[in-house]
Chain A
Amino acid sequence: MKLVMSEEETMLADMARGFLDSAAPVSKLREMRDAGVTHDAALWKEMADMGWAGVLVPEDAGGSDMGFAAANVIAREMGKTLAVSPFISTAVIAATALRSVSDARARDALARIASGEATYALAVDEGIKFDPDATQLEAKASGNGFTLNGKKQFVVDGANADRLLVLARTENGLTLFDIPSDRAGIERTASNMIDARDAARIEFTDVEATGDDVLGSVDQAMDVLRPALEAGQAALAAEMAGLSAGAFEMTVGYLKERKQFGVEIGRFQALQHRAAHLWCETEVTASAILNAGRMLDEDPENAGLAVSLAKAKATATAKLAVIEGVQMHGGIGMTDAYDMGFYMKRARVGAEWLGDFAYHAERVAAARGF
């Protein structure tokens, strides 16, 4: 296992950066927010055409099958410009879940993900914190199928997604359902999120599901969901590392250009050392993310520690990056007209999604035996 970017990965990153700088800069997020829009179908189609939607879809299902480390590379670049897309929900989480099921239906679903036709959202959270084990939404056996009743919240990409992966409690465990988001009895309410991105509260009232809607086996959701969650957590960590890099770049640029007391403020050692410390943290975080990608590709059964390490570290570093970003920009950093606030808000949302710092720190501790 080599902790070094391969030539292909470097090329992928360069290509992604080139595309995102022109097609999805921060100003694009600002436009979407001002227009009250949280999904750009045309942009997602372009990403699909570049092979990003199918980054984890096998080639025989029309995917580019580049692997988890490559998915992280794309997510990281998206984080730098705060690009809006259902990449993590659809191309990473849903694709990974579907990949672990080998039937014709899953293959078709993967093909639709790769082509950009179908987007997904993962509906897990019911309380204010990520806690799959506490799932209460009930899928009661009825006839040959199930009836779903309950509520989900913070369903990221849930207001626009074509399909939902719903984690539900069944008689002897948890079961994952893959159902269309417009099925009768599903009521979606878009949340007005601080990061201007898509998330929804969803109510399920007597929603009918068949055995075919079950992804994997009944009562065995985690067989399918665990790898999907880990892939999503790693990609989110990568996105947050990109976000940190984006905020950091803005900040260092400002230190070199803003003058006070007749000199660039970047001459002041108090700021230099804080900026240098932040850079050190971003470097250390990058290692954890590269490692998580490599582990998911090469030793997925044992990737849990690497993934939680990456998510915990990326969360902490992103928080530091945006706090320092605003502080070092001073008053202008607090204005809506300046982009730093967008980074700060996305960092906060990313911190909560798929398990916060404490959740992943506990997992690291457990894996390390304390």
Chain B
Amino acid sequence: MSATTTEAFRLELRDWLEANCPEEMRDGGVTEDSICWGGKDWVFTSEAQKVWLERCAAKGYTVPTWPKEYGGAGLSRDEEKIFLQEMGRINARPPLQSFGIWMLGPALLHFGTHEQKLHYLPPIARGEIRWCQGYSEPNAGSDLANVQTRGEDKGDHWLVNGQKIWTSYADKADWIFALVRTDRDAPKHKGISFLLCDMEQAGVETRPIKMISGISPFCETFFTDAVIPKDQIVGEENKGWDVAKYLLTHEREMISGGGQGLAGGRAIGAVLSDTMEEMDATLRADAMRCEIDSLAIGLTLERYKDQAEAGQGAGDASAMLKYMGTELNKQRHELMMSAGGSDALEWDGPLGNRAGDWLRTKANSIEGGTSEVMLSIVSRRVLGLPA
């Protein structure tokens, strides 16, 4: 992309954002309450939130890099950078966030048929269907390939029975993508299929789990003779592990999100100063280390994206980013608790949900593959150490 077209795109986008992003949507959207998740049952928190989603969806800006025919804007990596910079410039909230965008979308784009993409992607892009992820089970945590939820072949459909756990927001989702064992005799990695299941049926039930942070974003999901038509499989039968792994790399990048580029994002030191006029030397030193790591990880995220675009593979980069990003995020929230002192110890106290946010981050290094699993992946695949 030449400098002229880059500049033209930036100016056009700037004008569009100026004209279309409602004032209320220009607060960065940093709190849990400000997120627009979409879905059949979604209740917009304001008219502005609704308008912002609709306008962005019409332009493909909820999923800017997806192809236009599937609801995206077809932006190149350079254009995406500009898009993010310009959104950041006016502190615009993301119009829509969802597991459909972060996880299922990339997997469908890679493994789905053209018909599947046309059928499933545009409703994700418009925020009409909310997806959840049916991966973990009571006996399939770090050993994810040990999933036991069973799909019985009934000709034109599978009859599914079993239990999932840690299904984020399953109680609010419309559809679930799930790892289901469709061949019980094959080795564990080779008998799994990646199935798409409509949750609006009697055979699917969810039960929220109350977490240490006081809220219940995670659920147990039960399948009892749930019906999944045969055309709702992504990739080939019994080859779902490939899809699962591919999707996990996207999930890990999403969870890692830790670092922010040199340009955007507030410094941790500045955040701490909000509640502590003068940081003590120890906290300040910790904040500096945290800031250095945060910037360096943010740059690494940028570097991997640039490398991917340049056709230079980054190996098992997602495991590295997931490990580094989540460990950093935990540290950052420890510092924020420290800076908050006793004000941070009250539920809904002077600092809002700071304690809840802090507790929530402890799951970051567990969900989507623990830090220890990430290190084992790096050890085996990057360093070539023997298993």
Q: Counting CB contacts under 8 A, is A361 at the interface?
A: yes
Given contacts A276-B376, A291-B262, contact A309 B385 (CB under 8 A): no
Given contacts A267-B385, A280-B323, A284-B296, contact A368 B291 (CB under 8 A): yes
A291 to B299, Cβ gap below 8 A?
Answer: yes
* Cross-chain contact of A279 among B270, B279, B293, B378 (Cβ < 8 A): B378
Q: Counting CB contacts under 8 A, is B382 at the interface?
A: yes
B293 to A273, Cβ gap below 8 A?
Answer: no
The docked-state distance in angstroms from the alpha carbon of A216 to that of B270 is 37
Q: Mark B308-323, 1 if CB is under 8 A from A, else 0.
A: 0110100001001001
Q: Counting CB contacts under 8 A, is B295 at the interface?
A: yes
Closest-by-CB residue of B relative to A360 is: B292
B292 to A256, Cβ gap below 8 A?
Answer: no
Task: List A contacts of B270 (CB < 8 A).
Answer: 368-370
Task: List A contacts of B378 (CB < 8 A).
Answer: 276, 279-280
The docked-state distance in angstroms from the alpha carbon of A362 to that of B292 is 10
Q: Counting CB contacts under 8 A, is A288 at the interface?
A: yes
The docked-state distance in angstroms from the alpha carbon of A25 to that of B347 is 60
Given contacts A275-B379, A364-B292, contact A370 B272 (CB under 8 A): yes
A266 to B386, Cβ gap below 8 A?
Answer: yes
Q: Counting CB contacts under 8 A, is A96 at the interface?
A: no
B384 to A365, Cβ gap below 8 A?
Answer: no
| Residues 318-370 of A at the B interface (beta carbon under 8 Å) | 361-362, 364-365, 368-370
- Shortest Cβ distance from residue A299 to the other chain B in the assembled complex, whole angstroms: 11
* Cross-chain contact of A365 among B284, B297, B317, B323 (Cβ < 8 A): B284
B297 to A284, Cβ gap below 8 A?
Answer: yes
* Cross-chain contact of A362 among B288, B299, B385 (Cβ < 8 A): B288
* Cross-chain contact of A4 among B312, B323, B374 (Cβ < 8 A): B312
Question: Is chain B's interface secondary structure helix, strand, loop, or mixed overall?
Answer: helix
A275 to B323, Cβ gap below 8 A?
Answer: no
Q: Mark A196-232, 1 if CB is under 8 A from B, else 0.
A: 0000000000000000000000000000000000000
Q: Mark B271-305, 1 if CB is under 8 A from A, else 0.
A: 01100000100001101110111011101101100
Q: Counting CB contacts under 8 A, is B307 at the interface?
A: yes
A252 to B296, Cβ gap below 8 A?
Answer: no
A313 to B296, Cβ gap below 8 A?
Answer: yes
Interface size on A, residues (CB 8 A): 39
B269 to A370, Cβ gap below 8 A?
Answer: yes
Q: Counting CB contacts under 8 A, is B375 at the interface?
A: yes
A284 to B324, Cβ gap below 8 A?
Answer: yes
| Residues 186-211 of B at the A interface (beta carbon under 8 Å) | none
A305 to B262, Cβ gap below 8 A?
Answer: yes
Given contacts A309-B295, A370-B273, contact A276 B383 (CB under 8 A): yes
Q: Counting CB contacts under 8 A, is B359 at the interface?
A: no
The docked-state distance in angstroms from the alpha carbon of A283 to that of B299 is 10
Task: List A contacts of B312 (CB < 8 A).
Answer: 4-5
The docked-state distance in angstroms from the alpha carbon of A3 to that of B272 is 30
Q: Counting CB contacts under 8 A, is B306 at the interface?
A: yes
Q: Mark B348-387, 1 if CB is under 8 A from A, else 0.
A: 0000000000000000000000001011101100111111
- Shortest Cβ distance from residue A257 to the other chain B in the assembled complex, whole angstroms: 11
Task: List A contacts of B310 (CB < 8 A).
Answer: 2, 4
Q: Mark A238-278, 1 if CB is under 8 A from B, else 0.
A: 00000000000000100110000000101101001101110
The docked-state distance in angstroms from the alpha carbon of A309 to that of B292 is 6
Task: List A contacts of B87 (CB < 8 A).
Answer: none
B292 to A279, Cβ gap below 8 A?
Answer: no
| Residues 119-139 of A at the B interface (beta carbon under 8 Å) | none
A277 to B375, Cβ gap below 8 A?
Answer: yes
Given contacts A269-B376, A277-B375, A365-B284, contact A288 B385 (CB under 8 A): no
- Shortest Cβ distance from residue A251 to the other chain B in the assembled complex, whole angstroms: 10
The docked-state distance in angstroms from the alpha carbon of A287 to that of B306 is 11
Given contacts A269-B376, A276-B382, A284-B297, contact A365 B291 (CB under 8 A): yes
Q: Counting CB contacts under 8 A, is B51 at the interface?
A: no
B269 to A368, Cβ gap below 8 A?
Answer: yes
Q: Counting CB contacts under 8 A, is B267 at the interface?
A: yes
The docked-state distance in angstroms from the alpha carbon of A247 to that of B254 is 32
B324 to A280, Cβ gap below 8 A?
Answer: yes
Additional 10 contacts, C-beta under 8 A, given A272-B379, A275-B383, A365-B267: A4-B310, A256-B386, A272-B375, A276-B382, A290-B299, A291-B262, A369-B267, A370-B267, A370-B272, A370-B279
- What are 21 A-B pairs at a CB distance below 8 A? A2-B310, A4-B307, A252-B383, A252-B384, A255-B385, A267-B385, A269-B376, A272-B376, A273-B376, A273-B379, A283-B300, A283-B320, A285-B296, A291-B303, A309-B262, A309-B296, A313-B292, A365-B269, A369-B267, A369-B269, A370-B287
